Structure formats: structure tokens, C-alpha cells
Amino acid sequence: MEISTLATYHFLAFVWYFFIAYSITHIRTEERPSEVFLYGGQWKYLTVLNLVLQAAFYGVSFLADVLRLIKKLRCAKCVISSRDLLFSVLAFPVSTFVSISFWTLYTYNRELVYPKSLDGVIPLWLNHAMHTAVLPFAVLEILATPHRYPAKKKGLILLGFVTFLYISWVLWIYSVTGEWVYPLFALFSPAGLAAFFAGSFAVIVSFYNFGEFLNRMIWGQSKFCF
């Protein structure tokens, strides 16, 4: 893909994610179901954090494209390294996890992740923007441009660290409010919840590996490391 075309795509994707993140974080207080937006507001939900992550990624990607267009190659190289690390370790595996886990649980019992009370607050198109469109966007990014993956150990350590931070945030919210971020968590014993978190991390690691596999299959067999 031509750099100018890629820059246009990344800019439009950035604007799209910024708009979606803005829309969900600016729901009027009086419209919010009292049982949903408690301590931590929208920032306790992985879906919302993922929207901000995607907006940041596409913003960095657009900056890298602009630097390449104006021939600032030394600066572009540094930004591209940051872009690739952000995509490989977080943007692809998290967006894939959000989409697949949400719709799997929603199909099983929507009240565990997305209570029916939200239907009157969040329109259907916004729900799909947050939970459906993120997956094809992630796949399209792999098709659009190659990404340099870090050494596997480094990538998994970074992914594990970010996962640990989010789980710590979820547990902190529970310790303060006595309410779980997702009703699903209330079904587990402490040991069961630990197993659930461990299983979720294993799933997101599989998505990390899948992204690396797709990137390698589409763009070549060279070893991607920093």
C-alpha cells in the first residue's frame, strides 16, 4: 500500500476510534444505569480502555506515515518501532480478545457482561463499534502493513505486565465497592476466579501468537526482533 494511502487510512481509523471513545465516555450522567457506572466509571471496562488504546495506536501510525512522507526517516524509524511494539503486544491481541470474549459471553448470557439495561443507553451501532468492528480493524491492519514483532520473551513479559495491571485494577475496584466490574466474576470462588484470570491470559497469549503468525505468513519468514 502506498504511504499516502496508508496515512489516509490510519488517520481515518484514528478519527473513528477517537469518536467512539469520546461517545462512550461522554454518556450523560443521568442516562447511566446506576448498577453499571459506579466507582471507576467507564475506565474500569476493558472495552473502553481498548478504544483508547486503538486511538493511540492509529495516532502513532499516522505520525509514522507522515514522517515517512516528509522524509524524516530517522524520526520515522523510532516512531515505527513504537508503533510495531504497540500493535504486536497490545492493539491486536487486546482487540481480538475483547471482540471474541464479549460475543461468546453475550451469546451465553448477556447479563454477565452487558446487562439489558444498557440497551436504552448505548445504541446498537455503538455496541458493534466497540465490540465487533475492532476485530476486522485489527486484521485489516496486518493486511495493510508489516509489523516488526519483538522477541517472544519480551513481548509476552510486556503483555503479562499489562494484564497484571488490569487485573489489579479490577480487584482494587472490588475491594473499594464490593461490586465486580463484570457480574460474571461473582460466580467464581477465589480459586475459580484465579483460574479464570489465568485462562483469560492464556487466551490472549494465543491471540498474540496468532497475530504474529498472520504477520509472518503475509509479509515473510524473516525473524522479527528488536
Q: Spell out the per-residue pLDDT of the chain, length 226, in tens.
A: 788 899 999 999 999 999 999 998 877 555 555 555 567 778 899 999 999 999 999 999 999 999 998 888 788 899 999 999 999 999 999 999 999 999 999 999 999 999 888 888 889 999 999 999 999 999 999 999 999 999 999 999 999 999 999 999 999 999 998 889 998 999 999 999 999 999 999 999 999 999 999 999 999 854 443 3
Residue 226 belongs to a domain: no
Count the domains in the chain: 1
Q: Which three cell numbers stand for residue 52?
A: 483508547
Residue 34 belongs to a domain: no
Residue 210 belongs to a domain: yes
pTM of the model: 0.90
Q: Which domain holds residue 202?
A: 3-25+39-219
Residue 76 belongs to a domain: yes
Other Cβ atoms less than 10 A from the Cβ of 213: the count is 11
CB 226 within 8 A of CB 81: yes
Residue 133 belongs to a domain: yes
Compute the distance between CA of residue 81 and CA of residue 83 in angstroms, rounded to an integer. 5
Residue 31 belongs to a domain: no
